[in-house]
Structure 1
Amino acid sequence: MVRSMSVIVQVTPEFRPDASRTGLYVFSYHIRLENLLPVRIQLMARHWVIEEAQGETTVVEGEGVIGLQPVIESGASFEYSSWVQVKRLPAFMRGHYLCLNAEHEPFQVNIPMFTLRLPGEVLN
């Protein structure tokens, strides 16, 4: 969990064996953003860095999340789920959201780094 300008981000990843196959691991992740600011905000864009074992890094950028640019009222939260596929484990994801405050000023909300690994896998 990370606080950034009074916006809390919680991430819960989950391995999806039903969607994975040899050489490709699929994970879903559920994200909850809670707006503790005294004003509403709007999530405009996302920036992800995905680091796989053996050093392969992928950057993913785009507008909004899951096709939306949600407005999150003061004291409210927004939740969504998405997925990612990687070739090598463990993998790590981190990033940030670009948001606008009520005065349309941009600010960044950091997404905490989280690990993609098989259930029961222990990192060294």
Structure 2
Amino acid sequence: MQPTTTSTAITDGIRITVTSRYLAEQSTPLAHRYVWAYTVRITNEGGSAAKLLSRHWIITDARGKIEEVKGPGVVGEQPHLAPGQSFQYTSGCMLATSRGAMRGTYQMVRDDGGGFDAEIATFALELPLTLN
């Protein structure tokens, strides 16, 4: 099954929805440079607060090359989400191929100290379809 450009996963009450879009104005296909933006919305649908500590992305290009990105927080922040709260941000990804996919996890911790990995379901990095 092909991944879609939008994905949603819910782990322990944390809903993560991601939408990607191709940035033609920042891409240079002749130089094998393809750029996408992706917008992530993290919503706490659970009954207790949670804080995002770190991220782990797995990025796969059309040739099967895998790149892993790990680090603290997202866009320089470690959002703390009370029940019902959301946090949204946009970031980017560059590949040497015209398509690929991303997936991953956010390492979360509840106020009571319990930790868990919130799943980021696979979403596609694809060029938009055009009709000639």
Fold-level similarity (TM above 0.5): yes
The C-alpha deviation readout for 1:39-88, integer Å capped at 9, x for no partner, is 11100000000010111110000000000011111111110100010011
Aligned to 1:66: 75
Aligned to 1:8: 15
The residue type paired with residue 106 of structure 2 is Y
Runs of 4+ in 1 over 2 A off after TM superposition: none
Q: Secondary structure at the match of 2:113?
A: coil
The residue type paired with residue 88 of structure 1 is T
Q: Does 1:19 align with 2:32?
A: no
Identify the match of residue 102 of structure 1 among 102, 108, 111. Answer: 111
What are the equivalent positions in structure 2 for 1:1-124 lying under 5 Å apart?
1-21=8-28, 22-120=31-129
Distance in 1 (alpha carbons) for counterparts of 2:35 and 2:62: 15
Distance in 2 (alpha carbons) for counterparts of 1:112 and 1:89: 20
Q: What percentage of aligned pairs have identical amino acids?
A: 31
Distance in 1 (alpha carbons) for counterparts of 2:48 and 2:91: 27
By how many angstroms is 1:28 displaced?
Answer: 0.3
Distance in 2 (alpha carbons) for counterparts of 1:62 and 1:85: 18
By how many angstroms is 1:89 displaced?
Answer: 2.8
CA RMSD, aligned part only?
Answer: 1.0
Q: Name stretches of at least 5 consecutive residues in structure 2 with no aligned partner.
A: 1-7
By how many angstroms is 1:90 displaced?
Answer: 1.8
The residue type paired with residue 42 of structure 1 is K
Q: Secondary structure at the match of 2:21?
A: strand
Q: Name stretches of at least 5 consecutive residues in structure 1 with no aligned partner.
A: none
TM-score, normalised relative to structure 2: 0.88
TM-score, normalised relative to structure 1: 0.94
